Structure 1
Amino acid sequence: MKRLDIFVIILLFLPFKTFCQMESQTLKMKTKIFLDFVDAINTSDVDKLYSLMTNDHIFIDSHDNKATGRDNLKQAWIGYFAMFPDYKIEINQMIEKDSLVCAFGYASGTYKNLKTADNSNYWRVPAAWTAIINDNLVKQWQVYVDNIIVMDIVKRNQ
């Protein structure tokens, strides 16, 4: 009888464990896609970014402005990398829930790579990002950052 009880318990928990492993693998895949997107940003690889976006990709900036469509966003990224060729995202922490991946860290860059002795065109600010991952592609990318420093640098150089 005790052997049967143990066998039943094993059978009951085996599917749950398998489900949890599958769920964990799915979550890891979403984090990987997010990190691939960040890597494409950090290397200014517009073609890789394009390949990771859904056709109806949505970008939302820190002022809640929205741009849609991966063709439009490809051009937007080309423009942004022209403005900040060394733009980088540093991630310190990530959270994942269902199709949502969130990251926290810093964004940095140098305006048009205009290096100065006092480094006045360089900025590094705390930031957060969220992405909605659907079918192994980034459907939505949103950034949360106080970019007043960045805007001041841009204005000063115009």
Structure 2
Amino acid sequence: METVAEQFNARINAHDLTGLGRLMSDDHRFVDTGGNVVAGKRACLAAWSEFFVAFPEYRNVVDSVTTEGSRISITGHSICPGHPALEGPARWTAVISADELVAEWHVQQG
């Protein structure tokens, strides 16, 4: 069975803002590789919208998934032709809320 984090990643790969919004908690936080934080569902959806326009070929490829309590870690790599800074090994950590929504999506370089 696919975890909510894997579903969230699939919505990123599909550039599906509606699907992402359904999986985000209202107090959702996005943390990038530099430690920068975008807080709140609306702000995160706006940031994803801009990202999808700027990088229409961006995709995450999953190699493995591990679950530890409310944290789900995904390891793999990103693909973004023409943008080498966005490509390469990565780890994504999702913190899942009690109501099975993604409360935080944290991107780390692999």
- Please say whether Structure 1 and Structure 2 have the same fold, judged by a TM-score greater than 0.5: yes
Tell me what 2:106 maps to.
Answer: 142
Written as runs of structure 1 = structure 2, the 5 A alignment for 1:105-120 is: 105-110=76-81
Shift of 1:88: 0.5
Q: Which consecutive unaligned segments of at least 5 residues does structure 1 have?
A: 1-27, 111-120, 147-158
Residue 129 (structure 1) aligned with residue 100 (structure 2): no
1:99 deviation in Å? 0.2
Root-mean-square deviation over aligned CA pairs:
1.4
1:43 maps onto 2:14 in alignment: yes
Match of 2:5 in 1: 34
Identity %: 30
Is the counterpart of residue 97 in structure 1 residue 68 in structure 2? yes
Correspondent of 1:81 among 52, 70, 76: 52
- Residue 91 of structure 1 aligns to which amino acid in structure 2? V
> In 2, distance between residues paired with 1:77 and 1:93?
24
Looking at secondary structure, tell me which structure has more strand per residue: 2
Query: Could you tell me which of 25, 29, 33 is aligned with 1:54?
Result: 25
Cα distance in 1 for residues equivalent to 2:21 and 2:56: 18
Q: Whose relative contact order is higher, 1 or 2, with alpha carbons under 8 Å and at least 6 apart?
A: 2
Instruction: Name the structure with the higher helix share.
Output: 1
1:122 shift after superposition = 4.5
